[in-house]
Amino acid sequence: DAGLMRVNTEFRDNGRELLPFHPMQVQMCATRNLLDMFPFKGDVRVDENIALTSIHTLFVREHNRLARGLKNLNPHWDSETLYQEARKIMGAYTQKIVFKDYLPHIVGDDAMRNQLGRYPGYNPDIDPSIANVFATAAYRFAHLAIQPALSRLDADYREHPQFPSVPLYEAFFTPWRVVFEGGIDPVLRGLLDQPAKLNTQDQMLVDALRERLFQFVQHLALDLGSLNMQRSRDHGIPGYNAWRKFCGLSQPSNLAELTEVLKNEELARRLLELYGTADNMDVWLGGVAEPFVRGGRVGPLFACLIATQFQRIRQGDRLWYENPGIFTRGQRAVLGSVKLSKIICDNTDITSVPVDAFKVVSRTNRRVLCSRLSSLNLSPWRDRSCGFGKRLNNQICCSSWIFFCTTSSYSFSV
């Protein structure tokens, strides 16, 4: 109703919305007796960990905040129009934040300049669908950036005295922690304040992912690295050197050449002992073993595969937010100023945030009061096509609809 997404009718987070519950036929969550239901969301992984649950909750709140703002601006819009326009804005949020604020920290300066610079326009000949190697290997680089604990912080960005940080393996499939343990604010503060784990060649995945994955909810723990490599094999993904060739990179054929690529002779030797040749190396393992590109958090192979995928997503999307005709010039201008930090401010009780949510707090990225950040200006969405006609009295035109008001005993015919 009124363009709003469904929210929880039983529980609130300090007066704010939580995700609705969805009863499951098979219980997979590590639940409290009071809560035997999953949050319900468009992505079935919503409750995989409490950080993910918190981000989903944040964006549902923002959708509803936008829908309410649009209704105040255009009270004649019906529920479907309000929902679709808020949804369209949320899609633009995702595109802007991912491409302009997140990816530069991941793929580095060269890939951003060469492949993800200024928007070149829509190309109907480009297929924007997701490549298998991206889904099963390259974009799983971020598993190596996960810390062994999820930080939960109080209003002063200190360890929460009542709801302290949670070991990662105890944060899987525990959505009740969001409902009963302080809501999403402590989790979001932790995400803002805690740096991502640094992937190094001698410490890639934390033990919580290698030895204790889903142990809290299953009798047998899993190994995320093994799952990543097995998935690539199940999907028939070619090996490391095949993708190096695809990206125009060298294909190491001996110890000296692999050492040159990895900048680590001992690691190169151990990999060749296991695989025999770099041709046989799993692309996920080879990709995450490479030293970072300048300004990025992945090596040359994954910088290429990730940038190529996002390049195709952008150029092959007819509804891309920067494509003329999708939004007005005024709407595009205000969408370009959207920041994740302000979305957090607008939908939580958090009062201060770093200006750039993707960078740790520093002299160049200080924490500022939310009141100093500007919310999205919705005035470009005011429906200005409404007005009284010149030829008939008591009628008003709104977009493609014309409304007439008549007295009794009169009728209107076309």
**pLDDT value of residue 173:** 84
Per-residue pLDDT of the chain (414 residues; tens, 9 = 90+): 899 999 998 899 999 999 998 765 444 454 554 445 555 556 667 878 899 999 999 999 999 999 999 999 999 999 999 999 999 999 999 999 999 999 999 999 999 999 999 999 999 999 999 999 999 999 999 999 999 999 999 999 999 999 999 998 888 888 889 999 999 999 999 999 999 999 999 888 888 888 877 766 666 778 889 999 999 999 999 999 999 999 999 999 999 999 999 999 999 999 999 999 999 999 999 999 999 999 999 999 999 999 999 999 999 999 999 999 999 999 999 999 999 999 999 999 999 999 999 999 999 999 999 999 998 999 999 997 655 544 555 555 555 555 555 555 555 554
Residue 228 lies in a domain: yes
Query: Residue positions in the annotated binding site for heme b?
Result: 143
Q: What sign does the dihedral 43-44-48-54 (CA atoms) show? A: positive
Residue 55 lies in a domain: yes
- pLDDT tens digit sequence for 51-68: 999 999 999 999 999 999
- pLDDT tens digit sequence for 178-229: 999 999 999 999 999 999 999 999 888 888 888 877 766 666 778 889 999 9
Quote the pTM value.
0.87
Residue 307 lies in a domain: yes
Q: Please state, in angstroms and as integers, the Cα–Cα distance from residue 309 to each residue in 127, 152, 229, 294, 336, following that order.
A: 10, 34, 20, 20, 22
**CA terminus-to-terminus distance, the chain:** 32
Neighbours of 272 (CB within 10 A): 18
Residue 340 lies in a domain: yes
Count how many domains the chain has. 1
Residue 254 lies in a domain: no
Query: Residue positions in the annotated binding site?
Result: 143
CATH of the domain at 186: 1.10.640.10
Q: Which amino acid is at 356?
A: D
Q: Which domain holds residue 307?
A: 21-239+282-381
Residue 262 lies in a domain: no
Residue 370 lies in a domain: yes
Lookup: tokens for 144: 């190596």
* CB-based contacts of 303, cutoff 8 Å, min separation 6: 106, 107, 108, 110, 111, 293, 296
Residue 25 lies in a domain: yes
DSSP-derived 3-state class of residue 72: helix
